[in-house]
Chains A and B, each alone.
Chain A
Amino acid sequence: MGRATTAPQTRWERAGVEARITHRLARALAADARHYQIAILAALLAYAVGVLGAPIAPATVLVAVTVALTTQAVATALLARRAGATTTSAPAFDFRSPLISALSLSLLLRTDTLVVVALGALVAIAGKFLIRVRGKHLFNPTNLAIVVLLLAVPEHAWVSPGQWGESTVVAFALACAGGLVLHRSERADITITFLVAWTVIVIGRGLWLGDPLAVGAHRLTSGALLIFAFFMISDPRSTPDSRAGRIVLAVLVALGAALVEYGLWRRNGLFLSLAACSMLVPLIDRWLPGPRHHWRRPGPASPLTADRSPDR
């Protein structure tokens, strides 16, 4: 059939195109753990706004994404200039990490002004380039932004951890867990350790108090907890290099959060604890060294996901 490849005509051709698109999409999602994360975060954002009626204005997401990407672009450009002509060592612009930071920030941060959103995105990405110890950034970008804003402008920034509803949380947990299985993520250890540690603390405290299990179960079904466990504490760029180190960090973060939530009776224990414990990561790395993480995809490289190092 000498037909030019314009619009597909037959049912079979259409099915073929659909299959190709699906296949490409699946490959893109499987190619890099971050693609899968971006897809989950975007879906969650759409669900939060569309179904749950979360007060997240499109402008908020737009500002967060724009500022995050711009900051990343400017910072990589500056670094590239500093590195001079030796292009091999200069980092290339990568949209994925800042996009994840911006989406997480949009999901978690609540504010009454866009300035704070922009500030958050700026702090998140700039912090990644500025606060580094031995070539590794210290804080998870979104975590840093949230903690800085909570402490600096508490009257304009807050986190609404209760806004997800239980059915959302269950579906979201499944999607996140699916991501771990799909990518056999080397950083799954910290997420799992943290979730186990936090569950032990919450349920254990409930048992000690004599509470029905429903109380503990209710406390564990929090959307913010899952975003924290799957997208924040698991950040391979700011966690310890060795598995033992990551397990230590996960347990420390859980203990710190429990201290804040149940000892001091303050909110946002998870975020505060992670920020505080992150400062111990260089020490943990010295004590329990391991191979440094670089974003890399398994299998043949595609132009989208080619390995770049040193990455940011």
Chain B
Amino acid sequence: MKRGHLLAFVLTMAFAPLAWPFCGFYVAKADTKLFNRASQVVIARAEDRTVLTMANDFQGEPREFAVVIPVPTFIGRDQIHVGDKAHIDHLDAYTAPRLVEYFDPDPCRVMMLMERSAAAPASAPPSADAAAKSLGVTIEARYTVGEYDILILSAEQSDGLETWLTDNGYQLPAGASRVLGSYIRQGMRFFVARVNLAEQAKLGFSYLRPLQVAYESPKFMLPIRLGTLNADGPQELFVYTLTPKGRVETVNYRTVRLPTGMDIPIFVREEFGDFYRALFDEQVRREQMRAVFLEYAWDMNWCDPCAADPLSSEELEALGVHWLDDGRPGVVPMPRPVPPGRLVPPQPQPRNVFVTRLHLRYTADTFPDDLVFQETGDRTNFQGRYVLRHPWTGKADCDGARQYRAALPARLEHEAQTLANLTGWDIATVREKIGPDRLRQPAPQPGPWWRKIWPDAGPR
């Protein structure tokens, strides 16, 4: 049976990454309960030069927002920048797990091809405020960048820092002192950001834009330990890395590839977000929440199939890719119309940017240590890709069609089992959704009686 012709649909990720925030932790003023459940971080790095972009989907009063992030070096005023959330959304869409649709051809004839494409999710959040004074801790610098008031702190003792933060109205989660102390001894500084309400009003943004920090340090790591302190349950983190050589992996945790490439039932099209979340839940459960998942690894010049266009050079630079050549051609989005009969063709561009998307769910127990990364020379492309194959529903009655129909229930059953296995969903429910009728062997077609003894005897 010749299957599959072309993808019609690349559904982007119906899944807007929950909520975001950070590797740091939220510190609330007063008793507001704040959780940082999920974060998105983009790390652009070549040699030791690193640009960290942190997006957050903080859902509280802007004046309640504050974040403390350990950074490896002193950060000057011009090393801090406020980025554009749209770039991260674009990167998210580009690297998102995707659904691909194929339509089975008429088993009696050659099929026509179709194609379409898809859209990305949207999300928007609010903002916040604060002010600060010194008390026993060195405020190395104080900046206002965009809508943020930023302090760079260093401290001799964690108690001092904790006292200072508490005195200044920050509410620290239990156990913060110990973790702060560890970072202090490692010579790290603290980047404290709060929202400047006046600036925010002047700028007119209704949400908090991503903060970006540029620094040069051999430490290719992401401090996640503070973030586990005030979290109520496991947290979600998406790390996108942009590097010149190849795929990035964690060196102190297993990096596991998300299962990919399976055929799954058609109904998932309507609930792809649920599917992806269930799939991820199930994989996390199987790895006992001790692995980092690779969701995407690709040369930034192309995609196949594209969940969104590759990022333009301007967008990449905005996200911290500082090694692009100056003489390059400008924007190089993928040509969208896909030639029939093949997937999006690779069109190598002179941009050596490799994107890796890592996704993890963590608690202090399962991820006790900060994430440490390394860039590898592996440029093998990888994507989370799930396939829908629409059965052919024509009426024709040739031998091919009969065989096709006879084989279909087994195929649908296999898809049902794949789905149940990937997501942990109940197989009976899955079968119910597919439609029990379709899973049943079709009643024998009334045909000439001799077909029973000579099944292949057709006209020659």
Contacts and interface: CB of A to CB of B under 8 A. Distances in A.
Given A53-B257, A162-B254, A215-B369, A210 B181 contact: yes
B255 A208 contact: no
Interface in B114-162: 158
A158 B369 contact: no
Contact of A156 (B181, B185, B377): B377
A265 B255 contact: no
Contacts of A112: 246, 377-380
A166 B217 CA distance: 29
A219 B254 contact: no
A55 to B, nearest CB: 8
Contacts of A160: 249, 251, 255, 376
Given A155-B245, A265-B217, A266-B218, A218 B377 contact: no
Contacts of A214: 365, 368
B368 A210 contact: no
A251 B291 CA distance: 32
B290 A166 contact: yes
B206 interface: no
Interface string A154-174: 111110111111100000000
A212 interface: yes
B186 interface: yes
Nearest to A54: B254
A164 B255 CA distance: 10
A155 B243 CA distance: 12
A267 interface: yes
Given A110-B376, A208-B185, A162 B368 contact: no
Interface in B257-303: 257, 290-291
Contacts of B255: 160, 162-163
A307 interface: no
Contacts of A59: none
A111 interface: yes
Nearest to A264: B218
A158 B256 contact: no
Nearest to B257: A53
A209 B374 contact: no
Contacts of B182: 209-211
A218 B368 contact: yes
Contact of B374 (A158, A208, A212, A215): A158
Interface in A231-284: 264-267
Nearest to B181: A210
Contacts of B441: none
Interface residues of B, number: 31
Contacts of A166: 290
Given A165-B290, A209-B182, A215-B369, A155 B253 contact: no
Nearest to A206: B182
Interface in A49-68: 52-53
B252 A265 contact: no
Given A160-B251, A215-B368, A154 B377 contact: yes
Interface residues of A, number: 32
A222 B254 CA distance: 10
A266 B218 CA distance: 7
A219 B252 contact: yes
Interface string B168-182: 000000000010011
B308 to A, nearest CB: 27
A162 B249 contact: yes
Nearest to A52: B254
B219 interface: yes
A215 B179 CA distance: 11
Interface in A127-171: 154-158, 160-166
A53 B291 CA distance: 13
B377 A212 contact: no
B185 A265 contact: no
B254 A165 contact: yes
Contacts of A212: 178, 368
A215 B48 CA distance: 25
Contacts of A161: 251-252
Contacts of A218: 252, 368-369
B250 interface: yes
B177 to A, nearest CB: 9
A165 B365 CA distance: 15
A217 B178 CA distance: 17
A111 B245 CA distance: 13
Contact of B377 (A111, A264, A267): A111
A163 B378 CA distance: 15
B186 A210 contact: no
A157 B374 contact: no
A162 B369 contact: no
A77 to B, nearest CB: 35
Nearest to A160: B249
22 contacts: A53-B256, A112-B378, A112-B379, A156-B377, A157-B377, A158-B374, A160-B255, A160-B376, A161-B251, A162-B251, A163-B255, A164-B254, A166-B290, A209-B186, A210-B158, A212-B178, A214-B365, A215-B368, A217-B368, A219-B252, A264-B218, A265-B217
Interface of B: 158, 178, 181-182, 185-186, 217-219, 245-246, 249-257, 290-291, 365, 368-369, 374, 376-380
Interface of A: 52-53, 110-112, 154-158, 160-166, 208-212, 214-215, 217-219, 222, 264-267
Given A154-B377, A157-B377, A215-B369, 20 more contacts: A53-B257, A110-B378, A112-B377, A112-B380, A155-B377, A158-B374, A158-B376, A158-B378, A160-B251, A162-B249, A162-B254, A163-B255, A165-B254, A208-B185, A209-B181, A209-B186, A210-B158, A212-B368, A215-B368, A264-B218
Give 9 nearest A-B pairs by CB, closest first. A214-B368, A265-B218, A209-B182, A155-B377, A210-B181, A158-B376, A156-B377, A209-B185, A162-B251
